[in-house]
Structure 1
Amino acid sequence: MRFIQRFMYVLTFLVLLLTCFLTLYYGEKTFHFYEETEAMTKESEPYYHFVLIPEELDNDYWHLVEQGARDAAKFHNVYLEYLGPKQANNDEHLKTIDMAIAGLVDGVITQGVAEPEFETLVTKAKEKQIPVVTIDTDAPESDRAVYVGTDNYYSGFLAGKALLNDTTGEQKVAIITGRHDAPHQKLRVQGFKDAVATEPRIEIIAVEESNITKLGAVEAAHRILQLYPNTTAFYGTSALDGIGIAQVVKKQQAENDQYIISFDILPETLEYIKEGTIEATVVQFPYQMGYEAVEKMIMLNRGEDIEPLQHTDTKVIYKEDLPISPDSMDGGNQP
C-alpha cells in the first residue's frame, strides 16, 4: 500500500514537473511569436505619408504621373494619396493643399499654382516642417524645396526648332495653349517664340486658349481657321491641344497640308502621328516625374540636401520613332 502511495506521489510530481516545463516552453514560444508579429506589423507600416495633388484628377497625363508616384511609393513603403480638383480649378487645388497641411502629412507633391495664396501655403507647410515638391509646373518664387519635371521653356524651344527643321518657306503659325495663366504653358509658348524669333519666314498669327480640354482645343482651332484661313502650322502646348487641332484640320482639309506639332503621347496623339495628321510631338516623361518626386520627397524627409531643380527628360518624336507606348515612358525608373 505504501509502495503504491509513493508511486502515485512520484507520478504526480513528474506530471506537475512536465506541466511546468511545457507551460514555460510554450509560454516562451508564444511570447516570441507576439514579439515577432509586432515587429512584422511595425515593419509593414508605411514610413511616410505623402499627398500628390495634380492639376486635375481625371486626366490621362496626370494618371501617368500618378502611376509613377504609386510605383515609387510601393517600392519604398510610402502611403500615397492622390487628391485634387476633378477639373482644373485653382481654388479647389489650393484648398486641397491646405487640407494636406492641416492633416500634418510628411510631404506635399503638387503642381505649382500661379497665385499668391500658393506661396503663402507653401510657407505655411515649411513652418510645419512639411516639405513641398512642385511637379510638372514650378513655383520658383515660393518656399518649395524641389521642382521635379520638364524644363518647360526648353521643351517649347525644342518644338520651335522642330518646326524650323521640318518646314520650308513662309509659315503662318497659330498656337493653342492650355491656359494663358499657367506658368508652364507660358514657358512653352515663350520658348517656342524665342526659337523662331530670328527666322523672318515664321510669323505667329494667333495664340488661343483651350482650357486644357479637347473641346476647347477644337473650338480654338475652328476660330483660328475662320479668322486666318491661310494658317499653315499649329503648335499645341498641352496634351489635348494637338488632338483637338488634328480633329479640326482633318475634317476641314481635303489634304492635310498644315503642319501640327503637339505635346505628349496620349494614344489618340499617336494615332494622328501614324496617319500623318500630326507631324511631331514633344515627349515628356510623366511617369518619371511621379517616380522621382516621391524619391526626392523621401530624401527631403531624411534631411538630405538636394539640388532644387530636378529636370526630367524631353524630346521630339516623329512617325519613324513609333511604335511607342505611354506606359514605356518611365525614364528608366522602374525598380
Structure 2
Amino acid sequence: MMFYLLILTGLVLFYFTCVYLIKVLEVDINKPQSRELPDNSYRLVLITKELDTPFWDKVKYSAIAAGVRNGANVEVWGSYNGNEQEFLKLMEIAIASKVDGIIVQGLDTEEFKQLSMYKATEKGIPIITVANDVPINDSLRKTYVGSNHYEAGQMLARQLILDMGFAGKVIIMASDRQEQYQRERLNGILDVLNHYEHVKTEIIASGNSRERVVQAMNQIMNTQPNIDGFITTTASNASALIQELGKRSQVEPYYIYSFDDSPETLTLLQQGKIDAIISQSPEVMGSESVNLMVQWLNGTQLPLNPYGYYTDVRVMKAVASK
C-alpha cells in the first residue's frame, strides 16, 4: 500500500512541475523581444571615389553620425585618387551584398549607369547620389543631395563681373571629359558671361592632372596675351594654374576663381592669389542623404523629390582686393 502511495505522490508532483514549466515557457515565448534598432536597422553604404579628402571626410563623418541618430549602420567605402575601376567594383560588391541602400558619389559614365539602373534596381536597392549627380533617366536613382552646380557657376561668374567689370578676356579651364556637375558649372558661368558683349570667353581643356594643366597654361600664355581672368571648374587645377602663372609674371593682376573650399584653395584665397571660391556644404550632404534614405526605406517619405535636395552654396572672397 505504501508503495502505491509513493507512486501517486510522485505523479502528482510531476504533473504540477510540468504545468509550471509550461507556464514559464509560455511567458518566455510570448514576451516581446527588445531590439537595439527597433525599426531602422538598415545597412547603408556610402561610396566615393575620393576617399580621405577634406571634402569627403566631412560628408563621411556627418553621414555616420546621421546613421547613429536614425538607428542605421552606415559603412563608408571608397577608392583613392579617383580610381574609377576600384570605385565601380565597390558598387558591384555593395549590390551583391544586398545592402538596404547605397549613397554614392555620382559618376557620369555608362558603367555607373548600368550598375545603378539595372543591377541595383533588379535587387531592389535604392540609390541616392550625393555631391555629384547623374541624370535620373539614365540611372533610376531615387534622388540627389548636393549643390546646385549650375547656380554655383552663375554665382562665381557674377562675382567675376563685380570684380573685373564689364569687359575683359576670361579663360575657363575645364576637364576634357566633363562630369555632369562640371558641365552644369560651365553652363552657369557661360549663361552669365555671355550677357556681356565685351567679356570674351574661351574654354580650354586642361585635363585632370597637374601636368596637363601646366601644359595647357604654357600654350595659353604663349599664344594669347591680354588675358584678364581665369576660372577653373575643378579645385584640383587651381594651384597648378597659379604656380605656372607665378613662373611667368605676377599673379596679382589676374582675376582667378575656383570651386570648393579645400585646404589648398583656402590657403590661396587667404594669400590673395585666388579672388573667390564657391564653398559647398558637405556636412549637410552627408546627414541629409542618410536621413532621406532612411525615410524612403521606412515609407515615410514617398516619393523622394526626383530633382534633388539642394544644399547651400556661397561665395568666399579673398580678404585682399586687387
Short-chain TM bin: 0.7 to 0.9
Q: Could you report, residue by residue, the CA deviation over 1:239-279 in whole angstroms, capped at 9, with x for unpaired residues?
A: 22223323333443236100011111122222222221111
Choose which of 141, 155, 159 in structure 1 pairs with 2:156: 159
Q: Describe how 1:88-167 pairs up with structure 2 within 5 A.
A: 88-123=82-117, 124-140=119-135, 141=137, 142-167=139-164
Contact 1:250-1:256 at 8 Å conserved across structures: no
* TM-superposed deviation, 1:319: 2.8
For 1:108 and 1:236, locate their aligned partners in 2 and report how far apart those are by CA, in whole Å.
31
Q: CA distance change for structure 1 residues 225 and 153 in 2, over 3 Å: closer, same or farther?
A: same
Q: Which residue of 2 aligns with 1:174?
A: 171
Match for residue 235 of structure 1?
Answer: 231
Normalised TM-score (structure 2): 0.80
Task: Tell me if the contact between 1:157 and 1:191 (Cα under 8 Å) persists in the aligned partners.
Answer: yes
- Counterpart residue number, 2:316: 317
Query: Is contact 2:37-2:71 (8 Å) kept?
Result: no
Does the alignment pair 1:77 with 2:71? yes
Amino acid in the other structure paired with 1:85: S
Amino acid at match of 1:56: E
Contact 1:48–1:106 (8 Å) recurs in 2: yes
Distance 1:298 1:46, change over 3 A: closer
Q: For 2:44 and 2:53, locate their aligned partners in 1 and report how far apart those are by CA, in whole Å.
A: 20
Contact 2:129 2:143 in 1 (8 A): yes
CA distance in structure 2 between the aligned counterparts of 1:286 and 1:82, rounded to whole angstroms: 15
Structure 1 segment 182-261 matched on structure 2, within 5 A: 182-211=179-208, 213=209, 216-254=212-250, 256-261=252-257
Gaps of 5+ in 1: 1-23, 322-335
Quick one: which amino acid aligns to residue 108 of structure 1? I
CA drift at 1:320: 4.7
Q: Deviations over 1:118-149 (max 9, x none)?
A: 22222321232211001112122221001111
Instruction: Quote how far apart the aligned CAs of 1:150 are.
Output: 0.8
Secondary structure of 1:75 counterpart: helix
Structure 1 contact 236–261 (Cα < 8 Å) conserved: yes
- More displaced 10-residue stretch of structure 1: 123-132 or 217-226: 217-226
Runs of 5+ unmatched residues, structure 2: 1-19
Aligned match of 1:285:
281
Counterpart Cα distance in 1 of 2:88 and 2:140:
15
CA contact (8 A) 2:232 2:238 kept: yes
Give the Cα–Cα distance (whole angstroms) in 2 for the partners of residues 251 and 78 of structure 1: 52
Give me the identity figure in percent: 31
Change (3 A) 1:285 1:173: same
Q: What's the offset of the Cα at 1:46?
A: 7.4
Alignment match, 1:270: 266
User: For the structure 1 residues 126 and 171, does the alpha-carbon distance in structure 2 shift closer, same or farther, using more than 3 Å as the test?
Assistant: same
Against the structure 1 CA distance between its residues 198 and 43, is the aligned structure 2 distance closer, same or farther, given a 3 Å change threshold? closer
What CA distance in whole angstroms lies between the structure 2 residues aligned with 1:93 and 1:227? 39
8 Å contact kept, 1:155–1:191: yes
TM-score by length of 1: 0.77
Q: In the alignment, which residue of structure 1 is the partner of 2:11?
A: none
Residue pair 1:237, 1:262 contacting (<8 A) in 2 also: yes
Do the aligned partners of 2:242 and 2:251 also contact (CA within 8 Å) in 1?
A: no
Residue 178 of structure 1 deviates from its aligned partner by: 4.7
Selected match of 1:51 from 45, 60, 70: 45
Q: Count residues with an aligned counterpart.
A: 288
Partners of 2:245 and 2:251 within 8 A in 1: no
Paired residue secondary structure (1:240):
helix
The CA RMSD measured in Å over matched residues stands at 2.8
